Structure 1
Amino acid sequence: MSREGDSFWDQFRTFRQLKEYAAVGEVKSWKRGAFREFAREHPAEANCLRQSRRAGNFAIATGLAGAVGSGAFAYKYGRSGLGATLAATAGFAAAALMGGHAASVYYWGFSPKVDPLDASILFLKWVKDHEQS
């Protein structure tokens, strides 16, 4: 099942992707308009990165709403201090997870054409190649 020389973790696609992501190394800040140029060459990957950003923003927004709602509910019904903080934290986590999942289903459907981590790796490699030239 696993190839010779692979570690246990290399059997999992995400860990291989993360190793590849780390292997890209440091990427300096890219110039203005670089993403537009990347989008012309790699439209599917650029679209995936845009959708990932939108899903992330939606997750943060729903998480903040969940934190405020949970904290306010806990405070109103007599839990203050640590109890309200824990309720707000749990509300943020739950709402952010649900919001991020809902946004990713909305933007991608159930099977994205391009994996977001693969798109990020491709973009960083593209920036690295263009910064050398």
Structure 2
Amino acid sequence: MEVSEPLGDGELNALFAASWPQHGHTDFAARLRRSLLWVAAFRGDELVGWVNVVGDGGVHAFVLDTTVHPSVRRQGVGVRLVRRAADEAGRAGARWLHVDHGEHLTGFYERCGFAPTAAGLRWLG
């Protein structure tokens, strides 16, 4: 696993297209400029997993876009990505790591070390 290794839009869009059927082309470069860090997993030269962490400039950081290629799901890649991201966020000064997710992912994030909490969400679009 690599931390904040340079990645291009092509690699990330290919991973997201394979992982999420509704994915449309995204300008990941703009997102990465605002990231605290990201962790990438590779099989050979192929990007097969990725998680992004953004920070608030203080003690809070947020896990976003945890994505694992379908060909390597259920092999522990996602858990290792998120745990590594948590370790790196702590080294970068974060003390609280947040994640929002669908109910079906509660078990996954518990395996990553998160405890369920109530959180608010508001659509702004």
Normalised by the size of structure 1, how large is the TM-score?
Answer: 0.22
More helix by share: 1
- Asked which structure has the greater CA Rg, the reply is 1
Normalised by the size of structure 2, how large is the TM-score?
Answer: 0.23
